[in-house]
């Protein structure tokens, strides 16, 4: 029997899904999961996703770099924020990082109880798909959204995965979300940035002058790494 | 200042929306809100949406016709089910109906607290849009979904409304859902039935032999009636 692939548009809807025995792929394209992919591509050893600023800071005494983003900006007093460019530095090589972000790390928490949790972004799209084919489990693509609301950029990445894996997986009652995500991706794929031009997150982020981040996060296949959660820490899948 | 229009993909997500002062349009294309439009077009005086079978039955002693759908079928012992064709009968003229359905009437309950609640379907699409323009309030298009999960057919109708009202309304943080719904509608509009061919609800309903219902529910503008909730009962808006 075929395994299934579904798309979940918000951590708030995850309880409706049968994800306990599944691989959950957490997606936060702008920018948490993109930055995580960059971090591992640049030699980071592990990333511990935490919920609060306090939890992140507490890891400093254990020799970790600490990262925190709120309202789109690096929180004062932390080594790293949520920009992929902040992880492109030799100083992160072989380091452990504790990280909290508005949406992405919260979505990882929501997925606790899944058989395994992986990190998806456009940056590792093809590598992620190859890895998923080998898992021999049902798959739930979990969009982090914005404070649990639907967002377009995470949906487009989920649609891109569905587009690539179509035919290899079956769908459950949630197939409509997968069909919608795939359709939106097919409309947008030749100009992702243009398609997102009017989206709410772009609008919100425009005030932060991170146009460069947004453009970077939409370029597929910049790394072959697939971060996975092992004992509470993200590491690069072997 | 412009009023806003948003799309909510599931009653489970409605609490994230600022709908208390807004008009909420409840959408359950297959088939509750389509059937409601047909009922008023055929002279029904009022429809009381209720949550349970027991509540519906209790209205019989008050002279109501009673309707109930579960798992897509009319429940034994009730006068009416959820097929639009069951409401195309002279016997419903000037009658009051108590109705419970799997998704549609539950979504109406979820919207309690809105400034007003209206009923939308492809059957009253243009009339609904004209009525919405006159309301002078923010609008939330609430897709009933299937047991609170995202579904395509309700999203397409929400997208059709956004397509028609674009430019007259602003968007809130939930604009991404409206953009997605509108985009999906624009892809699907010339062949709604074909687009839904693989959707989960179609698949589910195929077993019930209601192909005729599905085709009927996708034909726009068969009535000028806009059902609205007044004191707990749906009536045709003046």
Chain B hits for A155, CB-CB cut-off 8 Å, are 176, 180
Contact across the interface for A150 and B199, Cβ inside 8 Å: no
CA distances for A198 relative to A23, B68, B130, B182, angstroms: 32, 42, 25, 13
B166 pLDDT band, cuts 50/70/90, is confident
Inter-chain residue contact A176 with B13, CB threshold 8 Å: no
| A177 interfacial to chain B (CB closer than 8 Å) | yes
Backbone Cα Rg of chain B: 16
Interface residue of A29, A180, A202 to substitute, partner B, most B CBs within 10 Å = A180
pLDDT value of residue A202: 64
Choose the mutation target among A176, A178, A179 for the interface with B, i.e. most B CBs under 10 Å.
Answer: A176
Residues in chain A closer than 8 A to B175 (CB atoms): 198-200, 203
* Residue whose C-alpha is closest to residue B144's, from B13, B237, B236: B13
Question: Where do the domains of chain B lie, and which CATH numbers do they carry?
Answer: 5-231 (3.90.1560.10)
Residue A205 has a pLDDT of 67
Write out pLDDT tens, residues B80-98.
999 999 999 999 999 999 9
At B116 the pLDDT is: 97
The predicted model gives B195-212 an average pLDDT of 73
| pLDDT confidence band for A102 (50 / 70 / 90) | confident
Which of B19, B102, B150, B194 should be substituted to probe chain A, the one whose Cβ sees the most A Cβ atoms within 10 Å? B150
Is A199's CB within 8 Å of B187's CB? Answer: no
Q: In this model, does residue B184 exceed pLDDT 70?
A: yes
Of A73 and B122, more confident:
B122
Chain A residue numbers touching B198 (CB-CB < 8 A): 175, 179
For residue B1, pLDDT beyond 60: no
Q: Are A152 and A196 in contact (CB under 8 A)?
A: yes
Cβ <8 Å between B152 and A180? yes
Question: What's residue B200's pLDDT?
Answer: 67
**pLDDT reading at A201 higher than 90:** no
B168 in contact with A, Cβ within 8 Å: no
Question: What local confidence, expressed as pLDDT, does residue B203 receive?
Answer: 66
Highest mean pLDDT: which of A38-47, B164-173, B196-205?
Answer: A38-47
**Confidence bin at B208 (pLDDT 50/70/90):** low
C-alpha dihedral sign at A87, A90, A91, A94? positive
Six-digit token pair at A149? 């609301």
B166 touching A (Cβ < 8 Å): no
| Residue-level pLDDT at A63 | 97
Q: How many CB pairs under 8 A join A and B?
A: 92
CA nearest A147 in B: which residue?
Answer: B16
Region B7-34 average pLDDT: 95
Grade residue B77 by pLDDT with cuts at 50, 70 and 90.
very high
Q: What is the pLDDT of residues A33-79, one digit of tens each?
A: 999 999 999 999 999 999 999 999 999 999 999 999 998 889 999 99
Share of chain B above pLDDT 70, in %: 95
Query: pLDDT tens digits for A117-176?
Result: 999 999 999 999 999 999 999 999 999 998 889 999 999 999 999 999 988 888 777 889
Distance from CA of B175 to the nearest CA of A (A): 6
Q: Closest partner residue to A151 among B155, B176, B204, by Cβ?
A: B176
CB contact under 8 A, A200 and B173: yes
Q: Is A116 on the interface with B (CB under 8 A)?
A: no
Task: Tell me the torsion sign for CA atoms A24, A102, A15, B71.
Answer: negative
Please name the residue of chain A whose CA is at the shortest distance from the CA of residue B175: A200
**pLDDT for the residue numbered A174:** 81
Q: Is residue A189 less than 8 Å (CB to CB) from chain B? A: no
* Closest chain B residue to A179, measured at CA: B199
Asked if B53 has any chain A CB less than 8 Å from its own CB, the reply is no
What is the arrangement of strands in the sheet containing B46-49, beginning at the earlier edge strand?
B5-8, B139-143, B23-27, B116-120, B227-230, B233-236, B46-49, B96-100, B65-70, B73-74
CA atoms within 13 A on the CB side of A40: 27
Interface touch B176/A150, C-beta < 8 Å: yes
pTM (2 d.p.): 0.94
Question: How many other CB atoms are there within 10 angstroms of residue A86's CB atom?
Answer: 19
When CB atoms are compared, the residue of A12, A177, A187 closest to B13 is A12
With beta carbons less than 8 A apart as the criterion, state whether B196 and B202 touch.
yes
Of the ranges A9-13, A42-46, A201-205, which one carries the lowest mean pLDDT score? Answer: A201-205
pLDDT at B216 over 90: yes
> Which letter, b or e, does each residue of A180-217 get, where b requires 16 or more Cβ atoms within 10 Å of its Cβ?
bbbbbbebbeeebeebbeebbbbeebeeeebeebbebb
Q: Is the dihedral of CA A5, B175, A123, A25 positive or negative?
A: negative
Segment A183-208 shows an average pLDDT of 82
Asked if the model's pLDDT at residue B103 lies above 80, the reply is: yes
- What percent of chain A shows pLDDT beyond 70? 95
Mean pLDDT computed over every residue of chain B: 93
Check CB contact of A235 with chain B, cutoff 8 Å. Answer: no
* Interval B133-158: pLDDT, tens: 999 999 999 999 988 889 999 999 99
Specify the pLDDT at position B110: 93
State both tokens at A12.
């708030």
Residues of A in contact with B30 (CB under 8 A): none
Q: Taking CB atoms and an 8 Å limit, are B146 and A173 in contact across chains?
A: yes
pLDDT above 80: residue B53: yes
Interchain pair A176, B150: CB under 8 A:
yes
């Amino acid at each position: 029997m075929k395994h299934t692939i579904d798309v979940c548009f918000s951590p708030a809807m995850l309880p409706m899904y049968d994800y306990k025995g599944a691989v959950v792929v957490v997606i936060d394209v702008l920018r948490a999961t993109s930055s995580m992919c960059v971090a591992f591509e640049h030699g980071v050893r592990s990333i511990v996703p935490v919920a609060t600023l306090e939890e992140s800071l507490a890891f400093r005494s254990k020799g970790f770099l600490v990262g925190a983003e709120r309202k789109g900006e690096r929180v004062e007093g932390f080594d790293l924020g949520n920009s992929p460019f902040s992880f492109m530095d030799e100083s992160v090589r072989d380091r452990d990082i504790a990280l909290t972000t508005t949406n992405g790390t919260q979505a990882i928490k929501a997925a606790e109880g899944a058989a395994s949790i992986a990190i998806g972004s456009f940056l590792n799209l093809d590598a992620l798909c190859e890895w998923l084919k080998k898992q021999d489990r049902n798959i739930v693509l979990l969009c982090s959204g914005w404070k649990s609301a639907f967002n377009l950029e995470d949906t487009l990445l989920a649609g891109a995965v569905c587009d690539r894996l179509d035919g290899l997986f079956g769908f459950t009652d949630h197939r409509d979300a997968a069909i919608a995500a795939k359709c939106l991706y097919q409309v947008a794929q030749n100009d992702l940035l243009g398609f997102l031009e009017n989206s709410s997150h772009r609008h919100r982020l425009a005030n932060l002058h991170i146009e460069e981040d947004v453009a970077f996060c939409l370029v597929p296949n910049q790394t072959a790494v697939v971060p996975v959660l092992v004992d509470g820490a993200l590491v690069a899948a072997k």
